[in-house]
Structure 1
Amino acid sequence: LAAAERMASVSAKEAAVSGLHVTFSPMVDLVRDPRWGRVMESTGEDAFLNARFAEAFVKGYQGTDLANDFFRVAACVKHFAAYGAAIAGRDYNTVNMSERQLRDQYLPGYKAALDAGAKLVMTSFNTVDGIPATGNEWLFKQVLRNEFGFDGVVISDWGAVKEMIPHGVAASEKEAAQLAMNATVDIEMMTTCYSHYLAELIAEGKIKEAQLDEAVLRILTLKNELGLFEHPFRGANEELEAQHVLSKEHRQAAREVAQQSIVLLKNEQEVLPLKSELTIGIIGPAASSQDILGAWSWQGRQAEATSLTVGARHYSKQLHIAKEPCDY
């Protein structure tokens, strides 16, 4: 957990000096189906551990003085709720579970992040009890706002407001905007249902002007908590960006966190440490590949990555490793 908090702190610093104020993390969706594509983002299948990681991430991102510590960013816990339980592991698919299971296993991770002070919550794409989360009044008004006491910003996931149309619960962007606003979603990400139709919905009396006022107030409150009114370009500093982003210190931190994250089988046969006379076979098409940064490393430099074979040779020079990997 200390390593997770350290990782979040490093991530926050690199983001903050680059002019970012919010991170769409932590993702605390509990997942027990390895077929789900976003399992790589998760912290596992244990509800207790998931909650503890949620706390650690939020503390690392936000620190203890978010308004004045310009090396910190606001955390956004996601995806509310139960996104990791999509049927058959198919992304965006239906989530179908009892309320008891939802509350006992899936909600505690989000609640832990909120108790740690997370400033934002992101909606999930999936349905909860047959209703898309982004327009689910029970989930957001009753559970998140009333029961959990969250008065911060709720933001939709990418296009999730408009996606209530293919879900079949809204016939138009206008109806989708109405459903999301009634569910207390403050910010619509990517699509434009709010900007095109909120004024019209208010004029028709389908939503109250006070609802929009509340959403705006929550957003302004977050900006105030970040000190953006006093420092509109909070944190952005080209010199600090050049100094900290991918710095030796941060690379070393990433290496140490990665080492602590590795799970090894129990060394019952005393195989480790490896003996010098041992020969290692690195087998498969990925043995010499530098395409190892992962699906979300969109700004990573593949040319700087170290393949498994090269890395093994570098750190185990006393071992005999075949000069050419077997690509089968």
Structure 2
Amino acid sequence: MTTAPASLRLLGLAVDAYKKVFTNPALSPPNPVRRSGFDLEVAVREVRAEAHDVVSLTLARPGGEQLPAWRPGSHLDLFLPSGRQRQYSLCGDPAQRDRYRIAVRRIPDGGGGSREVHELRPGDLLRIRGPRNAFTFVDSAPSYLFVAAGIGITPILPMAHAAGSRGRLVYLGRSRETMPFLDELPGDCEIRPDDETGVADIPALLATAAPGAAVYVCGPPPVLEAAQRCLFTLNPTGSLHTERFSAAPVLDGHEFDLTLARSGRRVRVGATETTLDAIRRVQPAAVYSCRQGFCGTCRTRVTAGEIDHRDRLLSERDRLGHMLTCVSRSAGGPLVLDL
């Protein structure tokens, strides 16, 4: 019997330690996406009208270099000329490494990011971070049902093409004029504009998914909430994957007082209001992006008070004295923020 050299024994111990830390969910950091991706400068190659109030941007490296690879469901952080940071799903072909494509619907009463995107022109330079993925496409499901509503088609479109014959796509919208990428859909896609077929019955639609199907839903809150209420009753062996483009409603909230230490201003946070929204009442320029607790843009230092952490990004260590104001709030009593 021979004894392995000391160097090999050490290598084996290192591999065992790696497996324990990085493949054991109980020990791995609870982060669904990378905290930061690739930071790159890109140029707007093309701006194209895709539907009423929807434009697509094709982005490329100024020197023509390849862009980082991505998988269906990925998004980019886009840094706009004003300094605003927003996140948009990649909706092009992952095989085309020389370009990225995003699509943005203009929201007249939004935070200004979509309006600014609609003002961009070919040749404009932007900074991006990513790709990152918080809406993972599981490519091993026996079958798929994709439900995209409106601009929710953007992350779903690459998934539907990747699923091929195993997938079925149902595309909802107010009217065909408001629905982008109608000319790029898989051949067997069901197009259901409200003005032609009526408002979709989401439970009835989800009931058509095969047992064990992976069901992907992206669209406005009423569509997502209906899917979350009924899928597992209708299809106990299926899996539900959702992505929203707006902030989730505040659940189990309570009012609390907030002090912004640098200015001394005080504000009352309502029971159904996010900490970020309360801050923006007195500091409209407060930075934010995802409003769902996973990008970290609104991370703020807390100098006093107990935090009810509701984010999906920060590790336990990072949560000591910091919070993401878009979702987290007081655990009881007032908070003092370094703002």
Query: Does the alignment reach a TM-score above 0.5?
Result: no
Looking at secondary structure, tell me which structure has more helix per residue. Answer: 1
- Greater RCO, 1 or 2 (C-alpha within 8 Å, sep 6+): 1
Q: How does the TM-score come out when normalised to structure 2?
A: 0.28
State the TM-score, normalized to the length of structure 1: 0.29
Structure in which a larger fraction of residues adopt strand: 2
